[in-house]
Structure 1
Amino acid sequence: MPHINLLPWRELQRKQSQNKFVTILLLVVLVSFLSMYMLSTYYGNLRDGQNIKNSFLTTEIGHLDARIHEIRELDKKKESLQQRMRLIEDLQSSRNLGTQIMDEVAKIVPGGVYLTKLERRGSAIHVIGRSESNNRLSTMLRQVQNSYLLEKPTMQGIIAGEKSSRLLSDFNMEFYVKPFDKIGEAKQ
């Protein structure tokens, strides 16, 4: 037995090992490619799904933007209508303002005070008249201050009466009509 040759057996085993290695290597490469293909397909499907969602959201955002634009236009129309309504209400409330002023002036003028001229310029009312005493004029000033319609009374001058009518003194007074919002608050 000294002459046994083990070389062919080793060579056969080496070939088998090499075949086994190549088979495992090919199997690993095949599994790697297959897993990469499956991952690529999975992420591609996710990307396509997200693109579909994004396009849907884009179209919905476009619809909502159109609705927002319509709402803004409606808000502008609403504001315009409200402004017109406020103007109409102001006109309605000021429609009887002249008669209210005359009524209020009649209430604030005490006995012994005689008005000779009453002139309205905008919201200012200029009064010229005659008075029996200065106390009666101060009463009139207080009543203007307490009025719901009139405000800011100012006495511009008092002139003592002439020889023929010493009992009466001439006066100039000015007061203002309150703005509409203050009149509404005072009435309530």
Structure 2
Amino acid sequence: MIEINLLPVREARRRERVRFQISVFILSLLLVFAIIAYLKWNINLREREVDAQIATVKAELRKLDKVIRDINRIKKEKEKLEKKIQIIGSLERGRMGAAMVMDEISKRVPEKVWLEKMSKNGRSLKLEGIALDEETIANFMTSLEKSQYIKSVELEVTERIESGGVKLKKFSLRCVTTI
């Protein structure tokens, strides 16, 4: 019988398999490196995009900070102006209120009463004057109580005085104004 040596064929197949496996391994390594390079490139690209977005947002924040400072400055100016308007309104009401109170008092002073002094401190009003008698002072107080601008009329002092031989009553009233 003929003997055939199959060892070289087996050896050749084994070498082919080893070459194939080495080729697959090298191609796999190249593929892994290519994937890693692509991912690194993609991550760097996204990082640059995010950095650009961050820079844009920071620029917007700087603009908005300026706008916020302007708004706060305007709010402070508005508060100052509102205070000024409030003070002007208060002064206007006070001026008109004082005129209305004086007009009301002048309408309610009886014939036998002479006012010498009137002083106002806030809402408190003090009237000093001379009357012919206690009844006239009482009528004056009652008349003032009926006023819409004056309340809580109280007699502080009455004293007897004489002027030109006539006996009179000097008085002091305290009351509260409603305006």
| Same fold, judged at TM 0.5 (above) | yes
CA contact (8 A) 1:157 1:171 kept: yes
Q: Distance in 1 between matches of 2:93 and 2:144?
A: 26
Displacement of 1:117 in angstroms is 3.5
- Would you say how many aligned residue pairs link Structure 1 and Structure 2? 172
CA contact (8 A) 1:113 1:137 kept: no
Q: Percent identity?
A: 22
Displacement of 1:176 in angstroms is 2.5
Q: TM (normalized to structure 1)?
A: 0.73
- Between structures 1 and 2, the one with greater strand share: 2
- Cα deviation code 1:112-150 (max 9, x no counterpart): 872444320423222245442686366336325xx23x3
CA contact (8 A) 2:154 2:175 kept: yes
Give the structure 2 partner of residue 139 of structure 1.
142
CA contact (8 A) 2:157 2:172 kept: yes
AA aligned to 2:117 is L
Displacement of 1:48 in angstroms is 0.5
Gaps of 5+ in 1: 184-188
Give the structure 1 partner of residue 126 of structure 2.
126
Within the alignment, does 1:24 sit opposite 2:27 as a pair? Answer: no
Q: Distance in 2 between matches of 1:51 and 1:96?
A: 66
Displacement of 1:154 in angstroms is 2.9
Give the structure 2 partner of residue 88 of structure 1.
88
Q: CA RMSD in A?
A: 3.1
Q: Distance in 2 between matches of 1:113 and 1:18?
A: 138
Q: Distance in 2 between matches of 1:3 and 1:152?
A: 145
Displacement of 1:17 in angstroms is 0.5
**What SS does structure 1 have at the residue aligned with 2:27?**
helix
Displacement of 1:83 in angstroms is 2.3
Give the structure 2 partner of residue 114 of structure 1.
113
Q: TM (normalized to structure 2)?
A: 0.76
Q: Distance in 1 between matches of 2:33 and 2:112?
A: 113
**What SS does structure 1 have at the residue aligned with 2:47?**
helix
Displacement of 1:106 in angstroms is 2.8
CA contact (8 A) 1:113 1:136 kept: no
CA contact (8 A) 2:105 2:144 kept: no
CA contact (8 A) 1:112 1:136 kept: no
**What SS does structure 2 have at the residue aligned with 1:132?**
helix
